[in-house]
């Protein structure tokens, strides 16, 4: 049978009409549910094109939050490509999803593939019963006892930080606070998680630093991969992805760059082989995973090598980036607000003097104003600025004529909430007094969620806070920081995975008596 140009034209025309009609039908989803929504545009819905990102996902979702809030809506609907997404605005609705009715929203809907992308199958991304089991097994890592043990390891890592800032101040050079903190936290996580001395200050081109930076590099191809694996339209859902993982792998649909994955897999394999061969034990994160792998747990559970590698990887990536970025933002704001910086320094000196000139665990717990500065930095600059959940079963919103169908995606704008003048008057002002005990008591439980909330709150929250406060104490105890002319107005990266400043963040440093 001969195919003519007319046949091809008819086929293309019919396909276009079908796509047009189907898209129109999909984009009326929230209208059919009587949920207020923003008019989408094919093919990206309400998002920016990956090849023309100007403000970034976090700012886009915050703008959507503000749009719904200004109209008095408790929630609204948007679309990511052809996928409907529910955006809660009212904090009582947020609380239902994150805490009260968590059993309906256990999963984040984050792509993971244990076969072709093993490092993606970590605690942050896995789902359902597997997540519950893993969370239970990993929780002993972050008890108060473990924090106290790791405390001195973090302080020891601070010696390299102290030497570096002393050298920089003597040379009267500006300090790139962003890179300094990244080197510090890389050393900390290398020691506390892997039992390795990274020595990043002596060797800034350490492989851990190189590959961790590479993980956060943006490219259009990687953005498209993430977009594909995050899609969940009727024709492309996560179950389809799981069943066809080998085909997607052949297409290059893995989120981690190949060399990054290979590096971390090899490092973790070498550590495990060395410890098991030489019967070496350390009280660190990898050791806890090895104890589970070897059955040294009460529940008789075990781990495969890939599972160990995935958990160690996410602990490293999340642990160094979130704390270093938050410290960077805090120091930038303290350089702009010298009265706040002076008050933090006075508190640190007073507490350290009380404990014989040493930074101690008990002393750190007494640094309350320092904690308020850290909290305010996370309020103004939430590192994970958008929280994501997926309905695991149909859910009727209490008191509303709205049912969120199974697999409905939920996006909560932390940036929108943390900058909402209803909860934080004059939200662009950096004001640590927002986090005084009395002010914290007045606010809604979900008005501040930099580590998430509910059963899926960040498991490493206390560790992250601990290493950040130690770093801040070391940096501020004997040194003063002022704005460098190049950083009077800090810009945020629109394409970064986490909220992060663009380029270097230079501050002037001088030693104080």
498-507: pLDDT as tens digits: 888 888 999 9
- The mean pLDDT of 449-454, rounded to a whole number, is 96
**Residue with token string 């892997």:** 194
Dist CA 293 CA 14 (whole Å) = 56
pLDDT confidence band for 210 (50 / 70 / 90): confident
Task: Tell me which of 141 and 223 has the higher pLDDT.
Answer: 141
Binding residues for heme: 458
Binding residues: 458
- The mean pLDDT of 220-225, rounded to a whole number, is 56
pLDDT for the residue numbered 243:
42
Dist CA 28 CA 34 (whole Å) = 10
CATH for 52: 1.10.630.10
Task: Tell me which of 410 and 130 has the higher pLDDT.
Answer: 410
Contact between residue 215 and residue 317 where contact means Cβ atoms under 8 Å apart: yes
- Is residue 210 included in any domain, yes or no? yes
- Is residue 54 included in any domain, yes or no? yes
- Is residue 370 included in any domain, yes or no? no
Rama region for 109: left / alpha / beta (φ>0; ψ in -120 to 50; rest): left
User: Residue 431: which domain range?
Assistant: 23-320+384-446
Does residue 189 have a pLDDT over 70? yes
pLDDT for the residue numbered 234:
36
- The mean pLDDT of 3-20, rounded to a whole number, is 65
Does residue 95 have a pLDDT over 70? yes
Q: How many CA atoms lie within 13 A of 385 on its CB side?
A: 28
- Is residue 223 included in any domain, yes or no? yes
- The mean pLDDT of 181-196, rounded to a whole number, is 89
pLDDT confidence band for 294 (50 / 70 / 90): confident
Please give the span between the terminal C-alpha atoms of the chain, in angstroms, as a whole number: 92
pLDDT confidence band for 34 (50 / 70 / 90): very high
Tokens read off for 450: 């930099």
What does the DSSP assignment read for 206-241? -HHHHHHHHHT---HHHHHHHHHHH--BTTB-HHHH
Tokens read off for 221: 């191809």
Dist CA 387 CA 77 (whole Å) = 15
- The mean pLDDT of 223-227, rounded to a whole number, is 56
Does residue 10 have a pLDDT over 80? no
User: Which one of 1-10, 117-126, 410-419 scores highest in mean pLDDT?
Assistant: 410-419
pLDDT for the residue numbered 15:
65
Task: Tell me which of 369 and 260 has the higher pLDDT.
Answer: 369
Tens-place pLDDT, residues 35-70: 999 999 988 899 887 667 788 889 999 999 999 999
Tens-place pLDDT, residues 468-492: 999 999 999 999 999 998 877 888 8
- Is residue 160 included in any domain, yes or no? yes
Cross-strand partners of 501: 492
Task: Tell me which of 58 and 146 has the higher pLDDT.
Answer: 58
Tokens read off for 427: 């939200």
pLDDT confidence band for 198 (50 / 70 / 90): confident
Dist CA 407 CA 105 (whole Å) = 9
> Of the ranges 86-95, 197-206, 210-219, 301-310, which one carries the lowest mean pLDDT score?
210-219
**How many folded domains does the chain comprise?**
1
pLDDT for the residue numbered 247:
45
Cross-strand partners of 452: 450
Residue 31: C-alpha distances to residues 17, 25, 37, 335 (Å)? 22, 10, 7, 49
Chain mean position to CA 275 = 30
pLDDT for the residue numbered 52:
72
Q: Give percent of the chain above pLDDT 90.
A: 55
pLDDT for the residue numbered 346:
98
What does the DSSP assignment read for 116-149? TBGGG-STTT--HHHHHHHHHHHGGGGSHHHHHH
Tokens read off for 123: 């605690």
- Is residue 9 included in any domain, yes or no? no
pLDDT for the residue numbered 245:
41
The model's pTM is 0.89
> What one-character DSSP code corresponds to residue 193?
H
Tens-place pLDDT, residues 377-402: 999 999 999 999 999 999 999 999 99
- Is residue 348 included in any domain, yes or no? no
Look over the chain and give the mean of its residue pLDDT values, rounded to a whole number. Answer: 87
pLDDT confidence band for 21 (50 / 70 / 90): confident
- Is residue 141 included in any domain, yes or no? yes
- The burial class, CB within 10 Å (0-12 / 13-18 / 19+), for 404 is buried
Q: Cβ neighbours of residue 444 under 8 Å, at least 6 residues apart?
A: 91, 92, 95, 423
Q: Give percent of the chain above pLDDT 70.
A: 87
**Cβ contacts of 93-98, under 8 Å, gap ≥ 24:** 93/397, 94/412, 94/417, 94/446, 95/444, 95/445, 95/446, 96/397, 96/398, 97/389, 97/410, 97/412, 98/387, 98/389, 98/412, 98/446, 98/449, 98/452, 98/453, 98/454
């Amino acid at each position: 049978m001969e195919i003519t140009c007319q046949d091809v034209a008819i086929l293309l025309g019919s396909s276009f009409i079908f796509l047009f009609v189907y898209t129109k039908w999909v984009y009326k989803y929230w209208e059919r549910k009587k949920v207020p929504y923003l008019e989408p545009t094919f093919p990206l819905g309400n998002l920016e094109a990956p090849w023309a990102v100007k403000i970034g996902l976090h700012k886009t979702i915050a703008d959507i939050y503000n749009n719904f809030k200004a109209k008095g809506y408790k929630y609204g609907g948007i679309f990511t490509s052809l996928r409907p997404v529910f955006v809660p605005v009212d904090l009582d609705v947020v609380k239902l999803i994150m805490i009260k009715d968590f059993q309906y929203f256990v999963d984040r809907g984050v792509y993971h593939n244990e076969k072709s992308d093993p490092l993606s199958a970590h605690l942050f991304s896995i789902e359902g019963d597997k997540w519950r089991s893993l969370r239970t097994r990993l929780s002993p890592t972050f008890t108060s006892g473990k924090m106290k043990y790791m405390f001195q390891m973090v302080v020891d890592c601070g010696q390299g930080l102290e030497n570096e800032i002393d050298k920089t101040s003597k040379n009267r050079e500006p300090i790139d606070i962003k890179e300094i903190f990244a080197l510090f936290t890389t050393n900390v996580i290398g020691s506390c998680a892997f039992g390795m001395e990274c020595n990043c200050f002596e060797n800034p081109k350490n492989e851990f630093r190189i590959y961790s930076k590479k993980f956060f590099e943006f490219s259009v191809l990687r953005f498209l991969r993430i977009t594909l694996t995050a899609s969940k339209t009727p024709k492309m859902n996560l179950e389809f992805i799981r069943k066809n993982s080998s085909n997607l792998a052949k297409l290059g649909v893995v989120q981690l760059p190949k060399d990054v994955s290979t590096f971390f897999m090899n490092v973790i394999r070498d550590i495990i082989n060395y410890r098991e061969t030489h019967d070496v034990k350390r009280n660190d994160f990898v050791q806890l995973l090895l104890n589970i792998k070897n059955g040294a747990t009460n529940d008789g559970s075990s781990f495969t090598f890939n599972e160990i590698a995935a958990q160690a990887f996410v602990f490293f990536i999340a642990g160094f980036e979130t704390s270093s970025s938050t410290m960077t933002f805090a120091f930038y704001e303290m350089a702009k607000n010298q009265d706040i910086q002076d008050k933090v320094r006075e508190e640190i000196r007073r507490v350290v003097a009380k404990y014989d000139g040493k930074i101690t665990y008990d002393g750190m717990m007494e640094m309350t104003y320092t904690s308020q500065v850290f909290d305010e930095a996370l309020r103004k600059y939430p590192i994970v600025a958008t929280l994501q959940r997926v309905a695991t079963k149909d859910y009727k919103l209490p008191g509303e004529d709205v049912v969120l169908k199974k697999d409905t995606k939920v996006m909560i704008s932390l940036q929108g909430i943390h900058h909402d003048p209803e909860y934080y008057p004059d939200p662009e002002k950096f004001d640590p007094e927002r986090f005084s005990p009395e002010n914290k008591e007045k606010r809604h439980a979900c008005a501040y969620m930099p580590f998430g909330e509910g059963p899926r709150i960040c498991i490493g929250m206390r560790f992250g806070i601990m290493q950040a406060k130690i770093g801040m104490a070391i940096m501020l105890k004997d040194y003063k920081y002022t704005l460098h002319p190049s950083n009077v107005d800090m810009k945020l990266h629109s394409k970064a995975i986490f909220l992060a400043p663009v380029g270097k963040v230079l501050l002037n440093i001088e030693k104080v008596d």
